[in-house]
Structure 1
Amino acid sequence: MFDDELSSVSSTSSGSSPTKRRQRPSPLTRRDQIGIDPNELIGKKLIRISRSAAHPSLTLDFDDQTTAQVLVDGYSPRWKGVPKELEMDEAFQRLTNTRSVGLDTLEIVDCAIIKLCDRAFERKQNNDHVRWDQEHAAVAFKFSGENSQWHCVWATLAEHDEHNICTFRSFEDVFLDYVQRSPRKKSWKNSKQNRG
């Protein structure tokens, strides 16, 4: 499994596209690991996928009644800062647009936090551009069946001026975490169903 090729994905302002093929990289290591180990998702079967309209998050529902999310490191709903958005490769984008995975449930056969390097920039008032290479963490998934290629999700930060011209574009790390369900909400739903 680790000898499989991983498509290195580079995010650009015009969209996303694989740029070159390479061996699966070793997992990204960080001193303050947050979220869950991506290996925990291997073997899980995805039944539904959805993006939040209000926040940069991607929700993955599995057939074992668990739910995980791709989240942006450091994002707070109360202190949003520079607008953040999740981006992904075209094939994974199509899958998120359909929301429901369908009859052929997708099993995750590999999952990793990987390192991408993209070109960030800032447009100055005199129209000069400052550009730099920025490394950031992304989540890569590989599914069973027809969708057996690698799929990648990463986060961008972007600001636009009054003419909708991008004046700043950078990148942020993403991570995986489980959604904790509140038992109180479940009991409220159950009591409502029992009354009806």
Structure 2
Amino acid sequence: MFDDDLSSVSSTSSTSPTKRRLRPPPLTRRDPIGIDPDELIGKTLTRISRSTTHPSLTLDFDDHTTAQILVDGYSPRWKGIPKELEMDETLQRLTSTGVVGLDTLEIIDCAIVKLCDKAFQRKQNDDHVRWDQEHAAVAFKFSGENAQWHCVWATLAEYSEHNVCIFRSFEDVFLDYLQRSPRKKNSKNSK
């Protein structure tokens, strides 16, 4: 699914020890889905909301467009192992309130990046199988802050009847515009 020669962490040779890569290396898929993250650069985020029933994050912008972060392969009909979007603490706080607030957040950079995390399966005989799981995540940089990257990724997890995690893996996420259906105007009956 991914080009083998890409890495989420790359070193850059530089004469200056303080010079760092400004943008994570892009993740290239052989079969891209969704929108190019560059389409969100320059948009101002006004609201962010998390679905209570599906693993999705909705981003509303001041130009009246809406984008979503979705899990690749997720279907409401065939949910399979429970999937959940996880994110850094800053985005988590924003999803708790929903409203961005007085400080509107302009997206100054956005990318699909490759992360590598440890997935595992716990077997009944207390054996654990662990492996490195590469997965796509969405990363944002907002104006008006220290220009740090903020990231959203998807996890799959199963728990035992004792609420112990017995399986944890990761899934790719992508961006897409939400096409809202036109709203009907409320007409009053006149006599």
Specify the TM-score bucket, using the shorter chain as the normaliser: 0.7 to 0.9
| Uncovered stretches (5+) of structure 2, i.e. residues with no partner | 1-7, 10-19
Deviates most, 129-138 or 141-150: 141-150
CA drift of 1:148 comes to: 2.6
Q: Secondary structure at the match of 2:39?
A: helix
**Which residue number in structure 1 is paired with residue 119 of structure 2?**
120
CA distance in 2, matches of 1:130, 1:27: 30
Larger Rg: 2
**Which residue number in structure 2 is paired with residue 162 of structure 1?**
161
**Which residue number in structure 1 is paired with residue 136 of structure 2?**
137
CA drift of 1:178 comes to: 0.2
- Runs of 4+ with >6 A deviation: none
Say which of 174, 189, 195 aligns to 2:188. Answer: 195
Q: Secondary structure at the match of 1:195?
A: coil
| Uncovered stretches (5+) of structure 1, i.e. residues with no partner | 1-6, 9-21
CA distance in 2, matches of 1:110, 1:117: 21
**Which residue number in structure 2 is paired with residue 150 of structure 1?**
149
Q: Secondary structure at the match of 2:34?
A: coil
CA-based RMSD of the aligned residues comes to 1.6
Return the TM-score normalized by structure 1: 0.84
**Which residue number in structure 2 is paired with residue 15 of structure 1?**
none
The residue type equivalent to 1:83 in the other structure is: P
Alignment: residue pair count: 171
CA distance in 2, matches of 1:133, 1:111: 25
CA drift of 1:68 comes to: 0.2
CA distance in 2, matches of 1:148, 1:179: 27
Deviations 1:113-171 (A, max 9, x none): 00000000000010110000010000000000026311000000000010010000000
CA distance in 2, matches of 1:93, 1:147: 17
CA distance in 2, matches of 1:106, 1:25: 20
Greater share of strand: 1
**Which residue number in structure 1 is paired with residue 31 of structure 2?**
32
Q: Secondary structure at the match of 2:145?
A: helix
Greater share of helix: 1
Matches within 5 A, 1:5-84: 23=21, 24-84=23-83
Deviations 1:6-32 (A, max 9, x none): x98xxxxxxxxxxxxx73332100111
The residue type equivalent to 1:157 in the other structure is: L
**Which residue number in structure 1 is paired with residue 5 of structure 2?**
none
CA distance in 2, matches of 1:41, 1:52: 20
CA distance in 2, matches of 1:26, 1:116: 11
**Which residue number in structure 2 is paired with residue 87 of structure 1?**
86
